[in-house]
Copies of this chain bind each other. A is one copy, B any other.
């Protein structure tokens, strides 16, 4: 078998690796992220992220792009991969979280890419900004949380505002990405306004800039005062839920809402409260709650009144009550 035939049989395969490098310090990068950059012929990224991995780039083609050239980065990556190159497209944090994975697939599909088309795609996960910032401030993400970008470059404001309102109401811990830039200064003020409709003014807020990087800065403040804090392009804003507290310089969200366990002997032991069992659903968990609801309804309680009391939609309670009694 001669060389040209072999080339025909196994056409040179290119690869695009979407690499999340974590917060930016080398020690918080995964082994796979390092290996992916090492394997690459070409490394493409926003100029700041390229600097963060400067010591891994010897002998590689390096393409530095500005912040807004996301689609161009993906197009260049596809171009090189079609030539049989291995390309690492780097994102800070996780490549999937507001990162390059989405725009890259958009460009690939636009160009008619399929998994068999000779360009392999690998996404290398990493710790996103919310994970890194949380680690530095304590344990704010112990309960349900969400991430909202305040950038209105691609998302209409009513969509963003609706989300802020919904999660403020439903008591999520919230990480705000892209909270403020030179041009976008009022978004954070509007976010605060929407939150203050549902949350206490003294709700803990932590603002982390450049987590695990040289100019790292951590500020603790409150919902009421957060707009006075130093917030910029490299900041992530963490807003606690109604149970989040700050103590000894740590922002902590408790695991649940139930205070299921009470401590005995000065923290040396924890016992489940009366009526609750360790490792089992709460008495107000789904099945217990359903039983109570059915009983109240059978006793003549009004569904609209029950819905209001539980702060849930009337039609959801109707649907639940129409389902046969649980066999818990």
Q: Which residues of A contact B (CB under 8 A)?
A: 20, 22-23, 26-32, 35, 67-68, 70-71, 75, 94-99, 101-107, 109-115, 123-128, 131-132, 134-136, 138-149, 152-163, 165-167, 169-172, 183-184, 186-187, 190, 193-194, 197, 247-250, 252-258, 260-261, 263, 266-270, 278-282, 284-290, 310-313, 315-316, 319-320, 326
Asked whether, in the complex, the Cβ of B316 is within 8 Å of the Cβ of A161, the reply is yes
Asked whether, in the complex, the Cβ of B97 is within 8 Å of the Cβ of A186, the reply is no
- By a CB distance below 8 angstroms, the chain B residues around A141 are 94, 96-98
State which of B136, B253, B326 has its C-beta within 8 Å of the C-beta of A186.
Answer: B326
Cα-based distance from A20 to B289 in the complex (angstroms): 34
Asked whether, in the complex, the Cβ of B289 is within 8 Å of the Cβ of A156, the reply is yes
Copies per assembly:
2
Contacts A/B (CB < 8 Å), 14 sampled:
A71-B261, A75-B270, A94-B127, A96-B140, A101-B138, A101-B139, A109-B252, A110-B267, A124-B135, A156-B258, A156-B284, A161-B312, A163-B170, A186-B326
Asked whether, in the complex, the Cβ of B267 is within 8 Å of the Cβ of A94, the reply is no
Listed residue (A67, A197, A286, A312) with the most chain B CB atoms within 10 angstroms of its CB: A286
Cα-based distance from A138 to B255 in the complex (angstroms): 30
State which of B113, B146, B155 has its C-beta within 8 Å of the C-beta of A146.
Answer: B146
Listed residue (A107, A248, A326) with the most chain B CB atoms within 10 angstroms of its CB: A248
Closest-CB distance, A122 to chain B (whole angstroms) = 8
State which of B139, B166, B172, B257 has its C-beta within 8 Å of the C-beta of A123.
Answer: B139
Asked whether, in the complex, the Cβ of B103 is within 8 Å of the Cβ of A255, the reply is yes
- By a CB distance below 8 angstroms, the chain B residues around A315 are 197
A sample of 15 more A-B contacts (CB under 8 A), given A152-B284, A157-B286, is: A75-B268, A96-B142, A101-B134, A109-B252, A123-B135, A125-B134, A153-B281, A155-B256, A157-B284, A158-B310, A162-B170, A165-B170, A167-B172, A186-B286, A193-B320
- By a CB distance below 8 angstroms, the chain B residues around A255 are 70, 102-103, 106, 154
